[in-house]
Copies of this chain bind each other. A is one copy, B any other.
């Protein structure tokens, strides 16, 4: 191995139960997927074909196979699930997933109103045949869900059969766990993770500042989602402390290192 840095943080290996990077593909071509897989397949655990993009993507079948042949599961975005559900076409949605050998399903109600009871019933039913990721939090920036309700809903959905619960942020990172300006609702996050282990959660964090926040708070192996394909490698460097933002968070000093003092005096570790 030509790279040989000492004392990097320990990173989980594929197939990962923790430290998942979920990529948001909003319309890549076959060759773009081949390129992505070639350059960083080891850092991608699962791919979501964003909202209804798969509906209008030419060459979808071949594209999905490239991911699957690289050992990366693919699933359709939650909004497509909602589009089928609101039309009473859930059985058609199941056929669609079978047609493309899709093994994961996102159950969400980010846009449509769907009662907690009905949502949990759907999770229960689908979890017999699929790995279910359910999503909590509205896409509507004006709909603020109080912390206790996040906690209760997440717990109920895990019990109903969700493999992980996704905490909503959208592609823009401006709703759900975040304020409209992209700032994190840290009190909300603390209340949630006080009661539910982060390993059962997957945080949508499309912006770098958000990724940095989660990695500093929950460690290198936090589960992060809605990562743009071109941000997979930059995110991996954040997890390993190989970017300025986390360089001083993840490493142990060798004994006798003369930089010891100055680094500790730097104070960047205290930015949080």
Contact = CB atoms under 8 A, between A and B. Distances in A.
Interface string A185-219: 00000000000000000000000100000000000
A87 B237 contact: no
A180 to B, nearest CB: 12
A177 B95 CA distance: 44
Interface stretch (A110-118, A125-133, A148-156): A110-118
Interface centre among A32, A85, A232 (most CB of B within 10 A): A32
B242 A83 contact: yes
Contact of A5 (B83, B230, B265): B83
Query: Copy number of this protein in the oligomer?
Result: 3
A144 interface: no
A234 B262 CA distance: 41
A89 B27 contact: no
Contacts of A50: 234
Given A26-B233, A112-B259, 16 more contacts: A2-B95, A2-B96, A4-B92, A27-B40, A30-B38, A31-B34, A38-B59, A40-B57, A41-B58, A51-B243, A56-B233, A79-B247, A82-B247, A113-B262, A114-B262, A140-B268
